[in-house]
Structure 1
Amino acid sequence: MLRVLISDPLSEEGIRPLLESEDIEPVIAPSLSHEDLLREISTSHALIVRSQTQVTRELIEHAPNLKIIGRAGVGVDNIDLDAATERGIIVVNAPDGNTISTAEHTMAMLMSLARNIPQAYHQLQQKKWERKKFVGVELKGKTLGIVGFGRIGNEVAQRAKGHRMNVIAFDPFLNEEKAEKAGVKHGELEDVLKQADFLTVHTPLIEATRHLINKQSIQLMKPGARILNCARGGIIEEEALFEAIKSGRIAGAALDVFEEEPAIDHPLLSLPEVIATPHLGASTVEAQENVATDVCYDVMELLRGGTVKNPVNMPSVSSEMMDKLSPYFQLSEKLGGFLSRLSEGTLERVNVYYSGDLLDVDTMPLTRIAVKGILQRHMGDRVNDVNAFRTAKDKGIIINEQKSTSTKGFTNLIRVEIETDHEKRSVAGTLLNGLGARIVQLDQYSIDVVPDGHLIVIHHMDQPGAIGRVGSLLAEHTINIATMQVGRTNIGGEAVMVLTVDKEVEVDCHQKLAGINDIKQVQCLTL
């Protein structure tokens, strides 16, 4: 009998597939003490949790029979993924179960914000009847700006269209064709900010999206616009939103999430123009059932020898294959991450080419890791080694892998190529004996760069003094150059300069570099 421990409260309907399985013994034991949890996990084949149970390395080490950990929800920050992966334990989550719930909550907040419903009800509770105080606005004909057009953003858009709103959306993976198919207008972030009467965010919280809606963003918006956040606290800079509402530039906000929760005494809650709920986006009976059911099916499938739909960590591979592939893991991810930060436009295709020592091994795990490195620029930890292909497919991105006998003089070579609706870019890398990972080619230019730390990539004309002017400007900003590589195809033509520096390049320095004579493009990134 396969033993499945459920250590957090879950919907009974959601776990019914487990309860009705003849070959599975479900053990429902929420709120266990630490000692009892260690005892129960020692004989369990699977563990299902929500956010209460902390699945630590210690807990995993006390589970010799554990094959899978299921998280009934999206976030897995309460699970030690490294410890699970080291033990070959698959971790799964339920990324789609709360899509409808969150979209509907967003629409409820949108309408409440437009018509001042919570404020009016509060006044009635105070035995006041003040109709003139709560004159709202209609949704019909207004523009809803959506930042982040994944499953939830798309669901919100379809509902907004039902209210005869105009919808404009921005997403790094959205282009004109995809937007047209969804029946919305495609725009860059600035377009969305400028046109929105209501702005709603539906992105993951990663470094690139933290405080994405800030003082500068709000200044681009229409006076009197309204802002919603039912995604993640931290996407909106709360202090900037507070000041914008207080000054009257923003008419109001609807918030389900905050940077720090619980947010009982948050300054935003003191403003009458703000309505808020305590992180209820996924709090429906159906959503709770869905996430539990999704995880239960994955757990049962794996325990019975099948494959899972929503893996979070990398599945185990044979030790022999791991010995051959593991040296290339970091190189593959760095190549993908490096190239994604240089490319512009909507990603449409990823091509990965292998040669040399990699001809006789299954390179699919390396391709998956390269794709993860590419997608993480915009999606952060939502994309991982295992779900990278599925995520790319969901975004309409084609993945292609090829092998070649042409090594261009290297024992091993990986070349990653990105095609967007604007351009095609490529980068190649190798492992040098004793020296580790190296980038050896960028587009048509030969270089030799360690893919790590702070880098500056400069496209320039091959003219006397260009390198000197770059070095002098960096010195003025107390930025020390660690290494410099220059690649060119012909004397006096276009060339590329790649520098590794000791600290991050600030915006002011970046702008000055771009203004130097003979400099065509400057891109700064950190790996």
Structure 2
Amino acid sequence: MKVLVLDNVSEKAVKILTEGGIEAVVNNDKMTEEELCNIIGEYDGVIVRSATKITAPVIAAGKNLKIIGRAGVGVDNIDIPAATNAGILVVNAPDGNTIAATEQTMALMLALARNLPQAHKDLKEGLWNRKLYTGVELRNKVLGLIGLGRIGTAVAKRAQAFEMKTIGYDPMVSPETAAANGIEFKPLEDVIREADFLSLHIPKTKESLNLINKDTIAMMKDGARIINVARGGIVNEQDLYEAVKSGKLAGAALDVFAEEPTTESPLFELNNVVVAPHLGASTKEAQINVALDVAEEFVNVLVKGEMAKNAVNLAPIKPDVLAAIKPYLNLAEKLGKFQAQLAAGNVNNVKITYSGELAKVEVTPLTTAFLKGFLTPQVEDSVNFVNAPVIAKERGIVVEETKSAEEGDYTALISVKVNDRVVAGTLFGEDDPRIIQIDQFRIDVVPEGNILFVPHIDKPKIIGPVANIIGENNINIAGMQVGRKEIGGKAVMMLAVDTPLPDVLLAEIAKVDGVEEVRMITL
């Protein structure tokens, strides 16, 4: 594997890549889109910070690209839809700069409250303006937090140490989780209305773009203050300028801007607006941490074949959930491959039922693993954990997930119905997947290698003739399972063979009296 490392990413990341078995090529020159397009095709992955833009043309030119890494949190410089459609994983490092961004928020809040940058500048210029820069205390003030993720929660904890009342809103966080961190959960409009200091900790999305504008600012208390260490564009800068200039707001502190880099803005004219050139993650510790996190993800994905923990275009998996489902990921993918080779005709509906222990955890990654296995034999494009749900949707396949708490004979069971055929599997031990049911038949088959699937009528002189045809052609039978519901009824034979049977032998087996169908399945 070969990875391109750009934007002065820490050398410690390069060391991790190299020790993990990846060839790391470092290029710290600022590259144009055309230059990047000319070389990206030879790389399996690329790591950037914020300077380099990974655009749709770059992604299209990256014929071998499997993963794009952002040594940081924001991925505004990466075309996520283009990467997803190409089946390329995008990962970031949401934990590495949490403390840096948290402390920058507190620094800006304090600087804003006490007018420190302005007073510093004046004193350096020979002006002793003590009365001019009377500030306010944080104690007993209301800190409104929009976004209660890692950084928002960390800011709340530090603000509470200053005896601030912390309130917040986040559509992905429950009131109970907020309360556990000392934050009173409120609707978004209430947070905006009640905050003395409003701090933003959300990504820039279609929904959050210009979230703070003249209408939302009008809801705020007179004399309130805004801090943004999240993403430029969340705050409408012209509306903010008008609000501060008019006195509606007492001030603002901004670390990010709609266009970066920028050295010109009407906001820079206002003495009660504190600004910084996107320094939220700019600590020595954070730059090392985010680089290490991304490099470790690359080794896990490219070398070890594991799922990414911090994928941007794949739902992140919590550590406790990953621990619970990880043993079943391989089983789910094998069930998908198995069903794909049994499916006859167009597939419009897939119904997956998770029973027993799996009914208690988040199973979406298992469904994605099934789709990856199911679609791989059927489509020309590369299918992976990123684009499998997209490809399924494009093909009109409706996927239904259901859960059943009933354990039955197994601690956990995955049952998949595709059209009218049901295949179910479980684990015998931590790493011993088995297919234990096909339609109404109970079996015990290891989903590996080459398996001959032969539904037939339960009567004499079927198993022997089939085995003879295989043996006479010098193909070894490694194992056999027969499942039936009743004597003389329908049955199924599963033969594990060392090499796949050619079509001519499959046709010969199909002629055996009582054989209803013959499929060669390769897993």
Aligning the two structures, in what range does the TM-score lie when normalised by the shorter sequence?
0.5 to 0.7
Q: Which residue of 1 aligns with 2:22?
A: 24
Deviations 1:347-393 (A, max 9, x none): xxxxxxxxx94237999479679xxxxxxxxxxxxxx96899xxxxx
Matches within 5 A, 1:127-138: 127-138=126-137
Q: Structure 1 residues 213, 43: CA separation in 2 closer, same or farther (over 3 Å shift)? A: closer
Q: Which residue of 2 aligns with 1:345?
A: none
2:179 match: secondary structure:
helix
2:28 match: secondary structure:
coil
Q: Which residue of 2 aligns with 1:344?
A: none
Q: Which residue of 1 aligns with 2:308?
A: 308
- RMSD, aligned CA: 3.7
Q: Write the distance in 1 (CA, Å) between the matches of 2:155 and 2:239.
A: 25
2:11 match: secondary structure:
coil
Check whether the contact 2:90–2:313 (CA below 8 A) recurs between aligned residues: yes
2:300 match: secondary structure:
helix
1:223 match: secondary structure:
coil
Report the alpha carbon displacement of residue 307 of structure 1 after superposing the two structures with TM.
2.5
Q: Structure 1 residues 143, 59: CA separation in 2 closer, same or farther (over 3 Å shift)? A: closer
Check whether the contact 1:311–1:387 (CA below 8 A) recurs between aligned residues: no
Report the alpha carbon displacement of residue 55 of structure 1 after superposing the two structures with TM.
3.5
- Paired residue type of 1:26: A
Q: How does the TM-score come out when normalised to structure 1?
A: 0.59
Q: How does the TM-score come out when normalised to structure 2?
A: 0.59
Report the alpha carbon displacement of residue 36 of structure 1 after superposing the two structures with TM.
6.8
Report the alpha carbon displacement of residue 261 of structure 1 after superposing the two structures with TM.
2.6
> Are 1:162 and 2:189 matched, yes or no?
no
Check whether the contact 1:196–1:221 (CA below 8 A) recurs between aligned residues: yes
Q: Which residue of 2 aligns with 1:505?
A: none
Q: Which residue of 2 aligns with 1:231?
A: 230
Deviations 1:324-344 (A, max 9, x none): 9xx99xxxxxxxxxxxxxxxx
- Paired residue type of 1:310: N
Q: Write the distance in 2 (CA, Å) between the matches of 1:99 and 1:322.
A: 43
Matches within 5 A, 1:420-499: none
Q: Which residue of 1 aligns with 2:350?
A: 358
2:158 match: secondary structure:
helix
Query: Which is worse superposed, 70-79 or 271-280?
Result: 70-79
Q: Which residue of 1 aligns with 2:402?
A: 401
Report the alpha carbon displacement of residue 95 of structure 1 after superposing the two structures with TM.
2.5
Gaps of at least 5 residues in structure 1 are: 329-355, 370-383, 389-398, 404-410, 413-527
- Paired residue type of 2:403: Q
Check whether the contact 1:47–1:68 (CA below 8 A) recurs between aligned residues: yes
Report the alpha carbon displacement of residue 311 of structure 1 after superposing the two structures with TM.
2.1
Check whether the contact 2:10–2:291 (CA below 8 A) recurs between aligned residues: yes
1:222 match: secondary structure:
coil
Query: Which is worse superposed, 359-368 or 240-249?
Result: 359-368
Q: Structure 1 residues 14, 246: CA separation in 2 closer, same or farther (over 3 Å shift)? A: same
Q: Structure 1 residues 273, 52: CA separation in 2 closer, same or farther (over 3 Å shift)? A: closer
Q: Structure 1 residues 368, 120: CA separation in 2 closer, same or farther (over 3 Å shift)? A: farther
Q: Which residue of 2 aligns with 1:513?
A: none
- Paired residue type of 1:401: T
Q: Which residue of 2 aligns with 1:93?
A: 92
Q: Structure 1 residues 267, 292: CA separation in 2 closer, same or farther (over 3 Å shift)? A: same
1:358 match: secondary structure:
strand
Q: Which residue of 1 aligns with 2:114?
A: 115
Check whether the contact 1:14–1:288 (CA below 8 A) recurs between aligned residues: no
1:259 match: secondary structure:
coil
Deviations 1:9-56 (A, max 9, x none): 1112343322444x3332212227668756654443332222333445
Q: Which residue of 1 aligns with 2:275?
A: 276
- Paired residue type of 2:93: A
Check whether the contact 1:3–1:44 (CA below 8 A) recurs between aligned residues: yes
Matches within 5 A, 1:260-409: 260-304=259-303, 305-313=305-313, 357-359=349-351, 364=364, 401-402=402-403
1:228 match: secondary structure:
strand
Q: Which has the larger radius of gyration?
A: 2
2:350 match: secondary structure:
coil
Q: Write the distance in 2 (CA, Å) between the matches of 1:300 and 1:135.
A: 53
1:145 match: secondary structure:
strand
Check whether the contact 2:351–2:401 (CA below 8 A) recurs between aligned residues: no
Check whether the contact 1:55–1:80 (CA below 8 A) recurs between aligned residues: yes
Query: Which is worse superposed, 57-66 or 278-287?
Result: 57-66
Q: Which residue of 1 aligns with 2:446?
A: none
Q: Write the distance in 2 (CA, Å) between the matches of 1:94 and 1:226.
A: 29
Q: Write the distance in 2 (CA, Å) between the matches of 1:198 and 1:368.
A: 42
1:121 match: secondary structure:
helix
Q: Which residue of 2 aligns with 1:150?
A: 149
1:312 match: secondary structure:
coil
Q: Structure 1 residues 197, 321: CA separation in 2 closer, same or farther (over 3 Å shift)? A: farther
Check whether the contact 2:353–2:401 (CA below 8 A) recurs between aligned residues: no
Q: Structure 1 residues 59, 255: CA separation in 2 closer, same or farther (over 3 Å shift)? A: closer
Q: Write the distance in 1 (CA, Å) between the matches of 2:121 and 2:310.
A: 43
- Paired residue type of 2:308: V
Report the alpha carbon displacement of residue 270 of structure 1 after superposing the two structures with TM.
0.5
Deviations 1:143-187 (A, max 9, x none): 111111111110110010111111111222344322221112122
Gaps of at least 5 residues in structure 2 are: 316-332, 355-362, 370-384, 390-399, 405-418, 421-523
Deviations 1:410-456 (A, max 9, x none): x89xxxxxxxxxxxxxxxxxxxxxxxxxxxxxxxxxxxxxxxxxxxx
Q: Write the distance in 2 (CA, Å) between the matches of 1:245 and 1:33.
A: 39
Aligned residues between the structures: 351
Q: Write the distance in 1 (CA, Å) between the matches of 2:150 and 2:286.
A: 15
Check whether the contact 1:367–1:401 (CA below 8 A) recurs between aligned residues: no
Q: Which residue of 2 aligns with 1:253?
A: 252
- Paired residue type of 2:29: S
Q: Write the distance in 2 (CA, Å) between the matches of 1:46 and 1:261.
A: 26
Check whether the contact 2:84–2:387 (CA below 8 A) recurs between aligned residues: no
Report the alpha carbon displacement of residue 248 of structure 1 after superposing the two structures with TM.
1.6
Check whether the contact 1:312–1:387 (CA below 8 A) recurs between aligned residues: no
Check whether the contact 1:74–1:95 (CA below 8 A) recurs between aligned residues: yes
